[in-house]
A and B are shown apart, each in its own frame.
Chain A
Amino acid sequence: MAERKGRPFNLKSQPGFTQIAWACVVFLYAPILVLIAFSFNENRSVVRWTEFSFDWYVSAFQNDGIRNAAIVSLKVATSATLIATTFATMAALATTRTAPFRGQGLAFGIINQPLMVPEIVTAVVTLSFFALVKQVTGLTGIGYLILAHTVFCIPFAYMPIRARLEDMNLTLEQAAADLYATPFRVFRRVTLPLMAPGILAGAMLAFVVSLDDVIITLMISGPGETTLPIYIFGQIRRGITPEINAVSTVLLGVSVLLVSSFFLIGRKKA
């Protein structure tokens, strides 16, 4: 009854929930902040703070292993993003703004399949499949890795594009068609510009999930196809150096930047 004396009874509040929410945020961010802080530590130790420095970033940048891994990562993520976003855009155009058609549920199921299978299962299953394909065709190369990344990037690219299309107004396209624009022209001059933010958002998500993938890449990447997360994984198992903190911080920064822009794009309504 004491609470009624001080302030009016708030029917939405529940005791302790505020504290738990704050604890949650601290729990989520404290480890990351510690990691970032120690990447700027001058000392070799990842335990005791001595002095601020950029030394570990410099040494990470000069490390050939890290540089090569970064190049592979960018190559794979860019290729996978381009293919996945194109396919996802086409699929989104086919599945939105239409009456239900035969096989629609099946198409949805297949597109979302990579999200429903545990990642480790996808990883070993893809490994078996690629091993067989390699045996039969004799083809090798980074194409396999790009293909595997493309598959799990498609649903991530598909979601925001589909959301954007569903919010879009049909009347503009109808108006263009009434003014004798050909279907292709309507698509190029009206539909595509309107859905562009969705496509950009989808591409960003695809890029982030490709850049961050560990398990699938770990299983199927061949020699010389070490991506940045795989490099980090190997180093952590061998022992901890502040250099890894520096690389991790950069990778975190890229993800945070992309995802923040994704949210900003999403706030502008169609």
Chain B
Amino acid sequence: MSTPDTHAQADAALRAAIRQREREAFRNRWLLLAPGVGLIACVGLLPLALTMIYSFLEPGTYGGVTWTFSTGAYEQFLFERDLFDETLLTFNPSYVIIFARSIFLALVATVGTLLVGYPTAYFIATRPRESRNLWLFLITLPFWTNLLIRTYAMLLIIRDEGLINAVLMGVGVVEQPVGILYTDFAVFLGLIYSFLPFMVLPVYASLEKLDFRLVEAAYDLYATRWRVLRRVIIPATRPGIVAGCILVFIPGLGAYITPELLGGGKKLMIGNMIALQFGTARNWPFGSAAALILMAMVVLMLVFLMRRGGRQVGHG
């Protein structure tokens, strides 16, 4: 009799049918993904590759590029070509300074948002459930409102004629208005104002998961409040802190509106410098190179932090 044979045949047929269905499901899945992924790949990723090419070309006279290979865009970061002798390069620190300023300002703003945002997130996480949602809503809402309008609102307040100076002079602390606008401090204030919600939310997310029995245990073992905060609470919420710092530092580094309005366009950051190259400076290759360098800095930092974060989890 051929019973084993028919069994085997049926088995094979069944397996083929299952494979067929899996293939179909796989195909359907990619058909559904195609428009969204395709669009982002074409208008989001492809242009990045194009920019890489642009950064190795020469600038066109009226913007755009001419298709001649050149590393001039990258040289321009460090050197200045002599007006009369094209081969003479002198060191020009102005772009390095802009990058350094941007990193510095973004770092200071990150620390600032952490110092203000952490206690706020902690306070929210220790509220009763109902008021917690209200607090979260209050913190999140500004994130969804227009960044330009919020920066403008900040500008209204810190102007020489603004609320802060009016109060200071009214109280009699100062005679003359304190010049806050168009300083590094104004940019710093604006960055904190813009990105504070980015810090509070991830920190809150990890504080919410904190097991307060650990805190209780630490107190039972005679730890002081400060010691509990430093040795128990903060280490336990490290992932949230790292995430918050990334979310503040990256947009801070590439900020455009804040330095443009509050720095008066004179205190340049990388973002303004890049925009300038595609505007009045008409140097697209240099702008492309600057954009790529900014991008590379962001990616490197993300990779570095993710690998460190991964190791942290491994220890836990």
- On A, residues with C-beta under 8 Å from B are 9, 11-18, 20-21, 23-25, 27-32, 34-35, 38, 46-47, 86-88, 90-91, 93-95, 98, 101-103, 107, 110-111, 113-114, 116-129, 131-132, 147-148, 150-151, 154, 158, 205, 208, 211-212, 214-215, 218-219, 229, 232-233, 236-237, 240, 244, 248, 251-252, 255-256, 258-260, 263
One of B8-16, B78-86, B254-262 contacting the partner: B254-262
A215–chain B nearest beta-carbon distance, Å: 5
Report Cα–Cα, A49/B165, bound state, in Å.
15
- On B, residues with C-beta under 8 Å from A are 25-26, 28-30, 32-33, 35-37, 39-41, 43-48, 50-51, 54, 64, 116-117, 119-120, 122-124, 126, 135, 137-142, 144-150, 152-157, 161-163, 166, 193, 196-197, 200, 212, 215-216, 219, 225, 229, 250-251, 253-254, 256-257, 261, 270-271, 274-275, 277-278, 284, 287-288, 291, 294-295, 298, 302
- Interface-centre pick from B124, B149, B200 (highest chain A CB count, 10 A): B149
Report Cα–Cα, A71/B293, bound state, in Å.
37
Residue in contact with A101 in the complex, picked from B26, B35, B126, CB distance below 8 Å:
B26
- Interface-centre pick from B44, B141, B154, B287 (highest chain A CB count, 10 A): B44
Residue in contact with B51 in the complex, picked from A17, A118, A125, A251, CB distance below 8 Å:
A125
25 pairs of residues in contact across A and B, judged by CB atoms under 8 Å: A11-B215, A24-B116, A24-B120, A28-B139, A47-B161, A113-B45, A119-B251, A120-B256, A124-B277, A124-B278, A125-B48, A126-B43, A129-B50, A147-B39, A154-B39, A214-B146, A215-B271, A232-B148, A232-B149, A237-B261, A240-B156, A255-B144, A259-B145, A260-B141, A263-B137
User: Which chain A residues lie closer than 8 Å to B294 at the CB level?
Assistant: 118, 120-121
- Contact B29 A21, beta carbon cutoff 8 Å: no
- Contact B196 A120, beta carbon cutoff 8 Å: no
User: 5 tightest CB-CB pairs across the interface, nearest first?
Assistant: A118-B254, A129-B47, A31-B153, A87-B36, A94-B32
- Contact A252 B146, beta carbon cutoff 8 Å: yes
User: For chains A and B in complex, what number of residue pairs have CB atoms within 8 angstroms?
Assistant: 248
Report Cα–Cα, A115/B51, bound state, in Å.
18
A156–chain B nearest beta-carbon distance, Å: 10
Report Cα–Cα, A207/B23, bound state, in Å.
36
User: Which chain A residues lie closer than 8 Å to B298 at the CB level?
Assistant: 116-118
- Contact A120 B144, beta carbon cutoff 8 Å: no
Q: Which residue of A lies closest to B302 (CB)?
A: A116
Residue in contact with B150 in the complex, picked from A17, A31, A147, CB distance below 8 Å:
A31
Report Cα–Cα, A103/B140, bound state, in Å.
33
- Contact A32 B153, beta carbon cutoff 8 Å: yes
Report Cα–Cα, A86/B126, bound state, in Å.
39
User: Which chain B residues lie closer than 8 Å to A219 at the CB level?
Assistant: 275, 278
B241–chain A nearest beta-carbon distance, Å: 15
- Contact A28 B254, beta carbon cutoff 8 Å: no
